[in-house]
């Protein structure tokens, strides 16, 4: 039962998904759980506690403030910061976040900052742009990179990684292979150029270990497990979505979004529903109002029958425009009453089918769910 709009978070589904993804990997491969954007809209606190218990090795976030929030859950695990910015350097160090350096500019600012604070061997990662063309250093930067890494003791280069552009798309397999090849070439070249022997600690003669490698996101793990290297970075799969119907079967959606019917309207032919009269009844109809709207993360694109909810096992289209705080659905053919619960998505009616009906993806629907929706944890 839902007496208000709730996002139920099922932690056993999270455990199932973690094990399903892990089962594709060698025992020695590290697992980074991507928990950016409020753990994909789920609520980081319970998710982190569960993932800590399950034994993930690393967390990944986009921005420094998110990293600070993850740190405040009490986790002691390392946190990879995917998008560090100079304005956040103090925050990064204060919360022991590990930045991913993606350009020569950023690398220079980061080493200058560390030097100014007399910080030595700060755990740092390097992101290589293998073809997503979003963030990352290129092969042309390699001599300058090697020179900086060889001559600084401010940084400990822990890993060199990259990110695939279309790991979920079988039609782009050739491009994915090309990205893998560029990443391999860059890594081999960089390691050869960095003078690792210089980086051994003074008291031992042993050279520092090579940086380790990671490339795959969820669809990478599911479609190209041979590219797993030393670690993988999974987000959407942990929350139960595999970006393809046959992959979805391996996973269980963690979140269920539910809202009660707060009012029913019996309307005559010609009467309209909602703002701008965007829906006009073509016959007598019954309309149910639900307490969630675009301020909760159901954008207007879901209106005008693009989106739908499930009530007593039947599909009810969203009619008219989505309001800020409410949607109206057509329940003319559905046996339902005041207080009955509408399912927007759940384990049986996945967020991806609703998102796809409106021309978007599960990631956007999940991460857009606003703080106003109450999160309820189920074991």
In this complex, which beta carbon is closest to ligand PLP, that of residue 102 or of residue 122? 102
Q: How far is the CB of 203 from ligand PLP (least distance, A)?
A: 36
Smallest distance from the beta carbon of 114 to ligand PLP, in angstroms?
23
DSSP state of 39: H
Both tokens of 233, joined, read 């970075």
Minimum CB distance to ligand PLP smaller for 219 or for 352: 219
**Number of other CB atoms surrounding residue 318 within 10 Å:** 27
Q: Which two tokens stand for residue 345?
A: 């998505």
CB nearer to ligand PLP: give 169 or 325. 169
If the CB atoms of residues 145 and 251 are measured against ligand PLP, the closer one turns out to be 251
The binding site for ligand PLP (CB under 6 A) comprises 34, 82, 163, 217-219, 233-237
Whose CA is closest to 194, among 244, 159, 131, 150? 150
Smallest separation, CB 92 to ligand PLP (Å): 17
Residues 6+ apart with CB under 8 A from 60: 32, 33, 34, 35, 36, 79, 80, 81, 82, 233, 235
Rounded CA gap, 196 and 211, in Å?
Answer: 10
CA angle 305, 306, 311 (to 5 degrees): 65
Closest distance to ligand PLP from the beta carbon of 83 (Å)? 8
Residue among 71 and 125 whose Cβ is closer to ligand PLP: 125
Please state whether beta strands 263-267 and 212-214 pair in parallel, antiparallel, or not at all (unpaired).
Answer: unpaired
Query: Please, what is the minimum distance in Å from the beta carbon of residue 161 to ligand PLP?
Result: 8
Handedness of CA 93, 95, 100, 103 (dihedral sign): negative
Q: What DSSP string runs through 207-238?
A: PPPPPEEE---HHHHHH-GGG-TTEEEESTTT
Q: Which stretch of DSSP H or E encloses residue 311?
A: strand 308-311
Q: How far is the CB of 204 from ligand PLP (least distance, A)?
A: 34
Distance CA 104, CA 115 (A): 16
> Least distance from C-beta 352 to ligand PLP, angstroms?
13
Q: Which residue has the tokens 């401010």?
A: 154
Least Cα distance to 42 among 372, 366, 379 occurs for: 366
Closer residue to ligand PLP in complex, CB, 102/149: 102
CA distance 199 to 46: 39
Q: Tell me the closest approach of the beta carbon of residue 163 to ligand PLP, in angstroms.
A: 4
Q: Which is nearer to ligand PLP, 30 or 233 (CB)?
A: 233
Q: Give phi and psi for 21, each to the nearest 5.
A: -70, -45
Residue whose CB is nearest to ligand PLP in the complex, by number: 235
Q: How far is the CB of 236 from ligand PLP (least distance, A)?
A: 4
Nearer to ligand PLP, 32 or 343 (CB): 32
Toward ligand PLP, which CB reaches closer, 166 or 376?
Answer: 166
Q: Which is nearer to ligand PLP, 286 or 361 (CB)?
A: 361
Are 211 and 100 contacting, i.e. CB atoms less than 8 angstroms apart? no
Single out the residue of 98, 67, 323 nearest to residue 231, CA to CA: 98
* Residues 26, 231 contacting (CB under 8 angstroms): no
Minimum Å distance from CB 246 to ligand PLP?
A: 17
């Amino acid at each position: 039962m839902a007496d208000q709009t709730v996002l139920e978070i099922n932690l056993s589904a999270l455990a199932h998904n973690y094990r399903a993804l892990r089962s594709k990997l060698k025992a020695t491969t590290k697992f980074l759980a991507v928990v950016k954007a409020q753990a994909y809209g789920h609520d980081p606190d319970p998710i982190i506690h569960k993932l800590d218990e399950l034994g993930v090795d690393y967390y990944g976030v986009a921005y420094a403030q998110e990293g600070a929030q993850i740190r405040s859950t009490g986790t002691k695990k390392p946190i990879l910061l995917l998008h560090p910015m100079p304005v956040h350097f103090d925050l990064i160090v204060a919360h022991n976040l590990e930045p991913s350096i993606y350009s020569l500019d950023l690398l220079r600012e980061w080493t200058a900052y560390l030097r100014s604070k007399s910080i030595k061997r700060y755990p740092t990662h390097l992101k290589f742009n293998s073809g997503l063309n979003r963030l990352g250093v290129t092969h042309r930067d390699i001599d300058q990179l090697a020179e900086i890494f060889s001559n600084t003791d401010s940084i400990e280069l822990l890993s060199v990684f990259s990110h695939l552009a279309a790991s979920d798309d079988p039609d782009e397999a050739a491009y994915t292979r090309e990205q893998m090849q560029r990443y391999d070439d860059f890594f081999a070249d960089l390691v050869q150029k960095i003078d690792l022997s210089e980086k051994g600690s003074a008291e031992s003669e042993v050279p520092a270990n090579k940086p380790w490698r990671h490339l795959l996101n969820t669809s990478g793990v599911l479609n190209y497990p041979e590219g797993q290297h030393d670690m993988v970075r999974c987000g959407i799969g942990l929350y139960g979505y595999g970006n393809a119907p046959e992959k979805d079967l391996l996973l269980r959606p963690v979140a269920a979004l539910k809202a009660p019917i707060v009012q029913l309207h019996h309307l005559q032919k010609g009467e309209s529903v909602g703002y701008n009269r965007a829906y006009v009844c073509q016959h007598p109809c019954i309309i149910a109002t639900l307490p969630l709207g675009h301020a909760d993360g159901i954008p207007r694109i879901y209106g005008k029958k693009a989106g739908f909810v499930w009530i007593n096992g039947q599909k009810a289209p969203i009619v008219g425009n989505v309001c800020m705080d409410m949607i109206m659905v057509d329940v003319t053919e559905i046996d339902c009453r005041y207080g009955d619960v509408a399912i927007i998505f759940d384990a049986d009616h996945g967020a991806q089918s609703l998102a796809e009906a409106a021309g978007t993806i599960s990631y956007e629907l999940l991460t857009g769910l606003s703080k106003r929706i109450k999160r309820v944890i189920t074991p």
